Amino acid sequence: MLGIRFVIIREAEVGLFYENGRFIQTLTPGRYALVNWPWHRQEVVRVDTRRATLTLSGQEMLTADGVSLRLNVVAQYRVVDGAVAVNTVADYQATLYTALQLLLREEVQSRILDALLGDRSALSGVLLERGRPEAAALGLELLAVGVRDVILPGEVKRMLTQEIQAQRAGRAALVTAREETAATRARANTARLLAENPVLLRLREIEALTQVAEGEGNTVVLALPAGLLAGIGAGKAAPSEG
């Protein structure tokens, strides 16, 4: 039909209906007829409402303690008000990108490196919380924000590696010292026990000699007390007479 054309709004889209350049209403999925006459023009702008991803790559920033680093941040959002998203700014995705970039810079500059590396999820949570009002003003819903990578300069990496190695060495030395202390205490307790119980000392000696004697070809010389040998001699039976 002359001057009539049809447009289809798909699922997961909304259509912004304009008449002679003026926004009239938001169209839901379906098929619509539009007139296109010289004196009267209708048009529809489709807006995707599916979840979309926005990546902030290689963001170079300084921490509160003056360490330079680069961050990669990923955000997910969707359009909830197409009219606001399209009619308010020229590029809602670029505007959201800039808003998140500024928030990221503020948050990184307020944190020292150790705090940033120790809890990335805290930074992600703050960016999501602070970014939601910014997104809502653009007709968007900010669904998630995550700090994907924290990239440090080579010198800082080496310093952190040395610090971690030193901490591990310190923990290992502490464990070794505790084990040596426990072993020394055990030996002292054993020595005191043997000193207080001579019979137990003799039993320990006999056990040690027995273990040595079990080896093939070993000769064990046992020193017995003189009193014990005398007792053995006195107890020997004398030959009978006639």
The CATH number given to whatever domain includes residue 72 is: 3.30.479.30
Q: Check residue 171 and give its pLDDT.
A: 67
Q: Check residue 192 and give its pLDDT.
A: 75
Q: Check residue 218 and give its pLDDT.
A: 57
Q: Is 143 found in the same domain as 74? A: yes
Q: Check residue 170 and give its pLDDT.
A: 65
- Whether 124 maps to a domain, the answer reads yes
Q: Is 146 found in the same domain as 58? A: yes
pTM across the whole model = 0.65
Q: Check residue 49 and give its pLDDT.
A: 97
Q: Is 87 found in the same domain as 162? A: no
Q: Show the low-confidence residues of the chain (pLDDT under 50).
A: 228-229, 231-233, 235-238, 241-242
Q: Check residue 179 and give its pLDDT.
A: 75
Q: Is 138 found in the same domain as 60? A: yes
Q: Check residue 137 and give its pLDDT.
A: 97
- Whether 138 maps to a domain, the answer reads yes
Q: Check residue 176 and give its pLDDT.
A: 72
Q: Is 88 found in the same domain as 43? A: no
Domain span including residue 111? 52-152
- Whether 219 maps to a domain, the answer reads no
CB-count burial class (<10 Å; 0-12, 13-18, 19+) for 46: middle
End-to-end Cα, the chain, rounded Å: 157
Neighbours of 148 (CB within 10 A): 13
Q: Is 158 found in the same domain as 140? A: no
DSSP letters for 104-165: HHHHHHTS-HHHHHH-HHHHHHHHHHHHHHHHHTTTEEEEEEEEEEEE--HHHHHHHHHHHH
Q: Check residue 242 and give its pLDDT.
A: 44
Q: Is 86 found in the same domain as 36? A: no
- Whether 61 maps to a domain, the answer reads yes
Q: Check residue 114 and give its pLDDT.
A: 86
- Whether 148 maps to a domain, the answer reads yes
Q: Check residue 115 and give its pLDDT.
A: 87
- Whether 222 maps to a domain, the answer reads no
- Whether 168 maps to a domain, the answer reads yes
What is the total count of domains within the chain? 3
